[in-house]
A and B are shown apart, each in its own frame.
Chain A
């Protein structure tokens, strides 16, 4: 057995109202990819934030490469060879890749020898098989590339222990595959890699060892052969939930949302949505598949009224809402679960009551003559907590302190409270554990059966095939085709996502059959 590089013993950390970590032991070895699993709120990020010097444990000790350490700041952790990559990248958009990597490094002083630094950085990148254009500006990069910059940044600081908090939540499947190739390479070179993730398939695929947490405590360790989908879910979940099972089809009825010839410009004026038309019916889930960046975000924002359009028409039921305000659309029954939960869907520094108000604070029932009816809101908060099983320490605390799964529950609690007729859900299960994911889909199915039409944007083709009644494939802002659930197969959809028309797909399939 190789030497352990990270040993955490009896780590305990309490936040007001919750024990985020309770007597947790954790060991990771040199050259391994170690997955850290657990439900939302299990305390994974907290444990890793302690290891990376962001938080300080109340109790417990840390032994890194054989030495007892105490961290007072992330800088201390970096000095000990520990680098952490958070979900929200900390890059400067207007700097180049090389500049970002050098930025804040302790050898980067007032006078900068750009050539030497660029050479060093390139050497580090090559040694680890990281492909990046060093002179590109960060704003020009895709999410996956930005992540590579973050990794490079840590390696350039000599990180031998790399922590990644839900690295694949924001990546396309292709980008994820690449990331794992890089990580394997790094592990082979002697790094210790710790990844937090909710995607068990990935874990089974890449992890050498797995640590599972449950409600702040260590719940199990698995390695090698023991790592399987079943064993892991068993360790993670408080009770075993049924994960298979077919989803009954919806009963599509009248049209609730019609989009006609929609043109929308995206970031930096690119033609993001380029003549798009479709109809969403009551009682159906219309899945939207597509490689990231093919107009999904712009489509969702245009339909919900947040982004202006160039031309086209949007109908909610019989009402033409092409020019209607966000508020008018909400009042006409449009709900929107945005992609960016933390900054758009919720206000991190506000409490639960204020966040539940966000899209209906003007409604008569939420107001009294004098102001917002906070007494009623307190009841609604309690209701939401109960109905959606939101785990919350202090109801009055800012929501940014809640874990990812609970945040999404808050968004859904709010958006579904008004019994909407149309629900636009953009990547609603990103970063959620299996339990929370199931819950979110169950909620969407329930809304569908109640008679709402759901427009479901997702990068997870399996989930789209499972839950959608029809799948719309988006390619460069246009509809490549709309496939019924009965006819839909992953291969077909995948080809359409790459720009193959349904007719061509049919031809290819016909040929390959004979």
Chain B
């Protein structure tokens, strides 16, 4: 009996093909969203303005772009941290917790040294948040290297520990007396706020994020340590043959990855949130895992995908002001994400449904050969 649906692994995807698939996937999501809006009884006019606020406003309006960049900053930093670990095939899905740990560190500095002048305060916050992220990375890295624990599980578990720690702190010792009972820590003294550009709210964290992207690119593509990471990620046997200390690198990579994510916690704290509460990390650490995956660990792809995810999230907010329930907004975001991730399969596999073969490269080749024969016809 013939199987109706089969998946076959493709050879490496072409970058042109990947881009085409991303565009198709977004178009598909828009289509499904429209359908959904008609089903819930929106007029074409209303649907149009909802689609506008979902997909156009975050990326093409002044106000939307500013918001998207602000939300993108921590995502970029986190995704870089995650990508570094993924490059060595270390599945660090603990960015959320590492970010929370970093935010706790920064908030602690703000609470215990509120009178420090601007520069020392910011620097100390940065250092402590990095240290906290490193600690979170090391707790997963050391047992991975020496006891062969599974880092996917440990990093995941450490997320909950860090998040619960935030909870305990803002409910207990660090609760702001002026917060009228809300579980949140006091506002960061103004001199500790990262300087921002005009009144846009786009802060120094953007510069830091871009620098980190460049450094990541350099380390992975050009640097000796990056070379070790790449070789180890490709083949453990080759790494041993090259005399690479794999254990040391497991610890080091997870620690550095944690440090970057910890720094993201400080950037979000001092740049945008300005106070610690349970929503500071807001699932961004998990989003970063998706971004790293979709961007194929490519640094420039990380920037694009981070801004995309940030805008998508903001668009959901705008759409609510257009009078759709928040549940529908979330659903639409889900559709888009699902579509992007679903179509991503096409970059890795050929799919055959019944007798129809779906393969990006065949499409491309067909197009090419058509173009070729068309050219010949003209001659």
Contact = CB atoms under 8 A, between A and B. Distances in A.
A135 interface: no
Contacts of A348: 234-235
B204 interface: no
Nearest to B237: A344
Contacts of B227: 354, 357, 361, 372
A344 B235 CA distance: 7
Given A362-B224, A372-B222, A306 B241 contact: yes
B297 to A, nearest CB: 13
A349 B296 CA distance: 15
Q: What range describes how many residues of B lie at the interface?
A: 20 to 34
A302 to B, nearest CB: 13
Contacts of B118: none
Contact of B242 (A326, A349, A371): A326
B179 interface: no
A359 B243 contact: yes
Interface string B219-253: 00011101110110011011011110000000000
A338 B2 CA distance: 43
Contacts of B237: 340, 343-344
Contacts of A327: 243
Interface in A352-381: 354, 357-359, 361-362, 367, 370-372, 374
Contacts of A371: 218, 222-224, 226
A354 to B, nearest CB: 7
A330 B222 CA distance: 23
Interface in A52-76: 72-73, 75
A305 B2 CA distance: 51
Contacts of B243: 305, 325-327, 330, 359
B8 A73 contact: yes
Given A338-B241, A361-B227, A374 B222 contact: yes
B293 to A, nearest CB: 18
B61 interface: no
Interface string A329-344: 0100000101010011
Given A371-B218, A371-B223, A350 B241 contact: no
B223 A72 contact: no
A346 B242 CA distance: 10
Interface residues of A, number: 32
Contacts of B218: 370-371
A306 B224 contact: no
Given A72-B357, A344-B235, A361 B224 contact: yes
Nearest to A360: B242
B148 interface: no
A347 interface: yes
A49 to B, nearest CB: 12
A358 B242 contact: yes
Interface in A90-138: 106
B222 A344 contact: no
A404 interface: no
Contacts of A344: 235, 237-238, 240-241
Contacts, number: 74
A453 interface: no
Contacts of A287: none
Contacts of B8: 73
Interface string B152-194: 0000000000000000000000000000000000000000000
B241 A349 contact: no
B6 interface: yes
A345 B242 CA distance: 9
Contacts of A349: 234
B353 to A, nearest CB: 13
B147 interface: no
Interface in A374-416: 374
Contacts of A325: 243
B230 A75 contact: no
Interface string B1-40: 1110010100000000000000000000000000000000
A426 to B, nearest CB: 12
A367 B224 contact: yes
B42 interface: no
Given A361-B227, A372-B224, A346 B352 contact: no
Nearest to A358: B242
B181 to A, nearest CB: 54
Interface in B327-358: 350, 352, 357
A306 B227 CA distance: 19
B242 A343 contact: no
A50 B132 CA distance: 55
Contact of A370 (B222, B230, B241): B222
Given A326-B240, A359-B243, A347 B235 contact: yes
A370 B221 CA distance: 12
Interface of A: 72-73, 75, 106, 305-306, 325-327, 330, 336, 338, 340, 343-350, 354, 357-359, 361-362, 367, 370-372, 374
Given A75-B6, A358-B241, 9 more contacts: A327-B243, A343-B238, A347-B231, A347-B235, A347-B238, A367-B224, A370-B223, A371-B226, A372-B222
The 10 A-B pairs with the shortest beta carbon distances in the complex, nearest first, are A326-B243, A327-B243, A371-B222, A371-B223, A344-B237, A347-B234, A358-B242, A347-B238, A344-B241, A343-B237
26 contacts: A72-B352, A72-B357, A73-B6, A73-B350, A75-B6, A326-B240, A326-B241, A326-B242, A326-B243, A327-B243, A336-B241, A344-B235, A345-B241, A347-B231, A347-B234, A347-B238, A348-B234, A357-B227, A358-B242, A361-B228, A367-B224, A370-B223, A371-B218, A371-B222, A371-B226, A372-B222
